[in-house]
Each structure stands twice: as C-alpha cells, then as structure tokens.
C-alpha cells in the first residue's frame, strides 16, 4: 500500500482512536461485493482503505485499513449501496473486540450515516452531551451479522 497519510495501526496506535468517531473522507475499494458474496484482494492487502479525519487526529488525515470481511461488507452497504446525500456524512468508530480461541480480532467498525457537521458537534465542548451523537439516518454494527 502506497499512501502519504499515516496509517492507523502502523503509524497511529489503535488505542488512540478506539471508540472515537472519525469522518470518512475517501474510500479506496480493493475488494468487491456481489450480492452478499465478498471477494477480497490478494493477501495481505485490506478489503478497503478509508481516509479519515477527526479532531482526535489533529489537522492531519489518516488511512484506516479495512481488514475484516464483515466490516468491509458494512462499509460497502453504507457507501456503495446506500450512498450519501449532500447533507450527510459517514462517521466510523472502531471498538477493539477480541474473542475466539486465540484472541482473534473480530469485526469492530461501527458505521453511522448522519447529518453533515455532526463530527464537529460530537467534539464541541459547548454542545450539550445529550445532543452530541445526533440522529443516525442509518447505521451498521458488527453485531448486525
């Protein structure tokens, strides 16, 4: 993967963004979905690489590799199938989940389609706490599959 942005998980610690909302700025799809069947790129490439921004990242953008099939399927459903209107934005939050016999990493990406500008409201200390999340017009979670 050749990118000029820092990569989350390599250049930026997962722990620094766990549970934090990030705005999706761009998506490079390396895999595809036909019906409910996911076809990935050759290993070790991720299914997709999303460019994200957030006050948590400062002024820089970062790239987030999508390495789990379910996370990729949800991203595809959100942005390729549903899509975004001009008044909307896509927010993602990663919550580390481990399980299975060997502590295998499980799907962890939570995706929300919400009103444009919601990311700034989430991190604005003047926004009342009960209004920070805002309405989700659509959402996908690892528990959905």
Residue 1 lies inside a defined structural domain of this protein: no
What is the helix, strand, coil percentage profile of the chain, to 5? Answer: 20, 35, 40
Residue 108 lies inside a defined structural domain of this protein: yes
pLDDT at 102 over 70: no
Residue 4 lies inside a defined structural domain of this protein: no
Residue 60 lies inside a defined structural domain of this protein: yes
Number of domains in the chain: 1
How far, in whole angstroms, is CA 99 from its chain's centroid?
A: 20
Is residue 119 within 8 Å of 134, Cβ to Cβ? no
Q: What is the pLDDT of residues 74-86, one digit of tens each?
A: 999 999 999 999 9
Residue 73 lies inside a defined structural domain of this protein: yes
Residue 7 lies inside a defined structural domain of this protein: no
Q: What is the mean pLDDT of residues 30-39?
A: 92
Q: What is the residue range of 107's domain?
A: 14-144
- pLDDT grade for 46, boundaries at 50, 70 and 90: very high
Residue 89 lies inside a defined structural domain of this protein: yes
Residue 35 lies inside a defined structural domain of this protein: yes
């Amino acid at each position: 993967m050749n990118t000029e942005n820092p990569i989350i998980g390599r250049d930026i610690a997962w722990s620094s963004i766990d549970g934090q909302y990030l705005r999706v700025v761009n998506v490079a799809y390396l895999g595809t979905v036909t019906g409910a069947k996911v076809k990935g790129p050759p290993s070790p490439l991720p299914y997709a690489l999303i460019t994200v921004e957030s006050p948590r990242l400062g002024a820089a953008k970062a790239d987030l590799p999508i390495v789990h099939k379910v996370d990729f399927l949800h991203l595809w459903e959100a942005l390729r199938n549903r899509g975004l209107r001009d008044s909307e934005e896509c927010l993602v939050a990663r919550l580390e989940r481990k399980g299975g016999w060997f502590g295998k990493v499980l799907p962890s990406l939570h995706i929300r389609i919400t009103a444009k500008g919601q990311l700034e409201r989430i991190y604005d200390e003047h926004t009342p706490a009960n209004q920070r999340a805002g309405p989700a017009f659509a959402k996908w979670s690892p528990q959905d599959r």
